[in-house]
Amino acid sequence: MRFLLRLASLVALAAAVIAGTIDSIQSVAASAVVMTPISDAWQDVSPATLTSLQSSLSYYVHPRFYAFIFQWLMLQPAFAVFLVIALLLWMIGYKKPPVAGRFTA
């Protein structure tokens, strides 16, 4: 299970680096800071899953949660969202080193 969590963390980190690279290239081209929201990035990759998630969340979840939390999350930069996801997955899959050290009996 830890391996899968670490692998998912690596994939999220790679997506964050790709999103950050795209934003930096667009920022240099526009001579202004450009940060792509996660909703725009998701819309470019898979618009059908975004609309299905939005409709299912608005139906099954309380409308206040949908209005405040989900809409706020969709306005955040894509690279930051992927970085937070990568960090959370890595923290869940982290294995603590043994306390006594490497050469214990």
pLDDT tens, residue order, the chain (105 aa) = 889 999 999 999 999 999 999 999 999 999 999 999 999 999 999 999 988 988 888 888 887 887 888 888 889 999 999 999 999 999 999 888 777 766 666
Domain ranges in the chain? 1-35+78-93, 37-76
**Cα–Cα nearest to 21, from 11, 6, 34:** 34
**Is the separation of the CB atoms in 19 and 36 below 8 Å?**
yes
